Chain A
Amino acid sequence: GEDVEQSLFLSVREGDSSVINCTYTDSSSTYLYWYKQEPGAGLQLLTYIFSNMDMKQDQRLTVLLNKKDKHLSLRIADTQTGDSAIYFCAEITDKLIFGTGTRLQVFP
């Protein structure tokens, strides 16, 4: 079955790195995504990775994919208070399946 799991909460100090983890179950996923949702707002696409890649870097964001373990992570370098939000990973097969989201809280 399709299931995407994330830890619910992460708290980090401003300037530190954040690592948000995600596990998925469908090995036929072609792309995996990270979306950001701020309070009262829609989903903002942050980055994505094709399933045949194992790493993608985009400015402060680094995505790591371990396809064997079906594990995806998002690392945010130099985390800022503006990064506080809920982060969703999602896998795409014939439809986009989202995790429950990880709430990132950044404190000074």
Chain B
Amino acid sequence: GAGVSQTPSNKVTEKGKYVELRCDPISGHTALYWYRQSLGQGPEFLIYFQGTGAADDSGLPNDRFFAVRPEGSVSTLKIQRTERGDSAVYLCASSLVGTTDTQYFGPGTRLTVL
């Protein structure tokens, strides 16, 4: 596709459940990023992949959050034992090579934890 795509667009889950959020970056982009946007706030950095490896995961809030990008394209953000405070919009972005390149964002996944 032409842009970054994310699935699902909406996810409602119960406290304590496990969720997976998927991101398809722009074809050919080697850098991929995850952000979390809480209501009324700007996006906050979670993790950055360069190819298959996590180059910077300093934004992950705790060990319940994990992300993978096994083939250097699609990425999955995984959240274990979800809490109500995890409710937010999770945004994915990609850029051509690295962090100095312009990042293009997907539409996001709205996660609601009941």
Contact = CB atoms under 8 A, between A and B. Distances in A.
A, B assembled together? yes
Contacts of A97: 45
Contact of A42 (B33, B42, B102, B105): B105
Given A98-B43, A100-B40, A41 B107 contact: yes
A94 to B, nearest CB: 6
Nearest to A90: B42
Given A30-B100, A31-B100, A45-B102, A96 B33 contact: yes
Interface residues of A, number: 22
A24 interface: no
A9 B9 CA distance: 27
Given A43-B91, A95-B59, A100 B41 contact: yes
B13 to A, nearest CB: 20
B31 to A, nearest CB: 11
A37 B45 CA distance: 17
20 contacts: A4-B42, A31-B102, A35-B105, A42-B91, A42-B105, A42-B107, A43-B43, A44-B105, A45-B102, A48-B102, A88-B43, A90-B42, A92-B99, A94-B99, A95-B45, A95-B48, A96-B45, A98-B44, A100-B41, A100-B42
Interface of A: 4, 30-31, 33, 35, 41-45, 48, 88, 90, 92, 94-101
